[in-house]
Structure 1
Amino acid sequence: MWSGLVTDKLMQCLSCFNCCAAADIPRFPTTSSSVEPPNWDQITERKKSSCKDHHHHHRPKETLNYKLFAGTWNVGGAAPPDDLNLEEWLNTRNDPCDIYVLGFQEIVPLSARNVLGRRKSSRKITSKWNSLIGSALNKDGVQLTKRRRRRRRDQMAKVGDHSEQRLLPVTRSGGCGEDFHCILRKQMVGIFVSVWVRGDLRRCVRNLAVCCVGCGIMGCLGNKGSISVRFCLHETSFCFVCCHLASGNGEGDQLQRSSDAMKILSRTSFPHHAPPLHLPRKILDHDRVILLGDLNYRISLPDATTLSLVEQKNWDMLLEKDQLRAEASAGQVFDGWLEGTVAFAPTYKYYPNSDEYYGRIKGKKRAPAWCDRIIWRGDGIKQKQYGRWESRLSDHRPVRSVFSVEAEVVRGLKSLRIEASSCTMD
């Protein structure tokens, strides 16, 4: 029965080859099932695609800075309780951002039924998570008075011809200056991505696209893989990749994780756009790239040694044996990517509803590791914060990062044709 269901699902994948942006099924390579590692020299030398309209090539430009929040959380298939408050994780009260990109893994249990078929219960779970995110982001925003909103519109009007490009900062009085809007949400089995932007920034985000790549069972199903999101903020392209790579700490598991990452970089391809826009199609062609998720890389030390160093909070010695750092140092798949200082405890694996690591009890084999990571690539990105949140909902701790990102703006335009409608891709 299992093999028959997998075969049926595989045929569905093949039939959906050209529907990457709309379907929950990953696309396949056209020639071979093997995936070649990216050629970094060609990528560096290749002329970049961009969000820039070539009709505006000679117009003066200005660089604007925005605050961007990226978060990742493997929730272990646990449904969120009704009273789950995400404000602390999103840090909305003290220092709200302009853009929020949230990636989840195992948002539903990775059972055969969930992997091989779409269930209505999955939609209910993603809707519940999205509702909790919206409540956290807009808790203070919903209390804005009509006078404050009118004053804000008047300020925008005074800018003149630049009114559609000039953006006011987030208020610092404890609430967000505008309500936040979900511009995109997408689920592939257990992976879920939700993107939110500040209300007055929404009209400056355009060319939204999404692509799913499955790397799980038979090398294609969505129990492991990625959801990638592309959009343009003004004239600058952004790409966000939410991953769930191969698990395990056995022989060959590290190589499988890196192979999954190579597949994601190779197979991800966004829709082609006709001139005058020459939008990037591959992940590494974008101006700013952030990759987040449960990358599942472990620490290459004996379990007892790892536990002892964790108790000592000797992060530096543990990171010397971190598999993700080793891959980057060896010039493998993550060569050229950056990660901030890891000054927090390993995020995996905990007993549910506990602060105790799984490996403390005799007979349990899984030592702590920094499975949950946020890395980036490209100029115009500066990391301001990198840490974890202490939620006991699952065996992982959620991770968050705040970035300052640059976006180019063409000045002097009286109007911009911008796709302002929200985009939900279920």
Structure 2
Amino acid sequence: MSNISSRNPTEDSSTEPPETINRFTSYAEEIKEEMPEIDSEEEEEIELEDPINAVVNNDAETELEETVKQLASMHPETPIARGSRKWYEKEPSWKWKGKPLKNPISKEKIRICAITWNMEGRPPPDDISSLFPPDVKHHLYIVCAEECMRSIGHSLFKTSKKDWETKVLAALGREYSLLEACTLTALHLAIYAHASVKPLISFHESDKISTGVANVIGNKGGVGISFKIGSTKAMVIGCHLAAGHNAVTKRSNDLARIERELSLPSYWPKSGLATDRTDFAIILGDLNYRIFGPKDAIEYLIEENAIETLKKYDQLRLEIEDRKIAQDFEEGEIRFPPTYRFDKGENRYDTSKKQRIPGWTDRILYKDRKGLAKQKSYDCIMSEKHSDHRPVFSQFVLKFRNDIVGPVNTRTNKGSSTCVTF
């Protein structure tokens, strides 16, 4: 099967020119920050004003400050200085260490590893074994990289992520091959399959949705890959949503639009949400949701390992609880510190003049409509300090129905499917 073609940017512009012009104007600053002449280290985040969330944010700051005062009075000897509790030394909770892969045909279940990492527009480090430990094997690897290989601005003109795909394959080993890949500017989603499971996979295809300037430029958006394993339908959606502490509503609206407009799988009638047309789905990426509250209070609670308190102010969790997005999706228990934004190469949250507030921007959600999956881990890799984000991973066991009685005619994708941008 061939990839679903990219949407023609000129189609919408002919039907609603005034709205398109207005959208270009309203997002002018956002695209300006991501052009090549801007250093990605100093990328300006657009603070889209949201009156409702501004009120929530103010209330959260007051409540969080009171919580910190209570904690400080209970533990007056605890320093607020970063690193006092060595929270950054936490080891990732990988499952199946040293355990070989089992035959997926006889067991009718596979191991899946999903990884999301914002690479900050930089080439990967020489050693990426922290993301792909050689003693932990999976049948499928789902790898979503945001700001992959180069900045968003540079990626508008050079989209290829072939070098990244090659590096991942080298880390995984010769038994793995690239099943499907899709690129939207600097956002890259790929699925790598072990030789034992590849004969079971069919109907793999991809699509993408731009949510950047005028919903045309791919500086932000989502990419999707759908496939069948046996007769079980699966889908993965990788996202890089709008930046800015107060851009909660835009993030949620864009995520809902991505899920609604992806034309996957192409053999199924397009209606409702794309993820409702599959048995198992994953959404992952730099969703960019932050934590409501003042920076000092949040960092104090991180030092105290008060994760449960911090989660009460997590923007994504609040949006899901209000039933605004990601209905029927689940998220594993967060037991790791916020994964953004770190000083380069340091176990220290942002000390630049921008003073960005820490947040769990990097997330993995899943929808299991038929009870086929079991999440085995959900964690971050604190030791990988190449970027200002920490990678996040989740491991799953997925059961599937094997109706295969002979060889499957699968399409082999030798490279990334890329989105036309300008």
Same topology, TM > 0.5: yes
1:20-419 to 2 correspondences below 5 Å: 21-23=4-6, 64-81=108-125, 83=126, 85-93=127-135, 95-107=136-148, 108-111=150-153, 114-115=155-156, 118-119=157-158, 122-123=159-160, 126-138=161-173, 142=174, 179-250=175-246, 253-270=247-264, 272-273=266-267, 282-358=274-350, 360=351, 363-378=353-368, 379-389=371-381, 390-410=383-403, 413=405, 415-419=406-410
Question: 1:26–1:222: 8 Å Cα contact kept in structure 2?
Answer: no
2:165 is matched by which residue type in structure 1?
A: N
Specify every segment of 5 or more residues in structure 1 that has no aligned partner in the other structure, as ranges: 1-18, 35-60, 143-178
Report the CA distance shift for 1:88/1:80 in structure 2 as closer, same or farther (over 3 A): closer
CA separation of 1:24 and 1:135: change in aligned 2, threshold 3 A: farther
Q: Are the equivalent residues in 1 in contact too, given 2:290–2:359 (CA < 8 A)?
A: yes
SS of equivalent residue, structure 2 residue 402: strand
Aligned to 1:156: none
Q: Secondary structure at the match of 2:339?
A: coil
- AA aligned opposite 1:134: L
Query: In 2 relative to 1, CA 339–271 (structure 1 residues): closer, same or farther, beyond 3 Å?
Result: closer
Query: CA separation in 2, counterparts of 1:374 and 1:96?
Result: 19
**Counterpart residue identity of residue 393, structure 1:** H
**Which residue in 2 is equivalent to 1:164?**
none
Once the two structures are TM-superposed, the CA of residue 28 in structure 1 deviates from its matched residue by 7.3
Matched AA of 2:360: W
Letter in 2 for 1:106: E
Identity, in percent, stands at 24
Which 5+ residue runs of structure 2 have no aligned equivalent?
21-104
CA distance in 1, matches of 2:152, 2:216: 15
Q: Which amino acid aligns with 1:418?
A: N
1:174-203: CA deviations, max 9, x gaps?
xxxxx0111112211010112111112112
Q: CA deviation at 1:23?
A: 3.6
TM-score of the two chains, using structure 2 as the length reference? 0.71
Residue deviations 1:265-322 (CA, integer Å, cap 9, x gap): 121113643xxx8899923211100000000001011222111111111110000110
Distance 1:278 1:233, change over 3 A: farther
Q: Distance in 2 between matches of 1:279 and 1:183?
A: 24
Distance 1:405 1:28, change over 3 A: farther
Alpha-carbon distance change, 326 to 90 in structure 1, aligned in 2, over 3 angstroms: same
Q: TM-score, normalised by structure 1?
A: 0.70
AA aligned opposite 1:21: I
CA RMSD of aligned residues (A): 2.8
Is residue 346–residue 368 contact of structure 1 (8 Å, CA) maintained in 2? Answer: yes
C-alpha contact (below 8 Å) 1:27/1:267 kept by paired residues: no
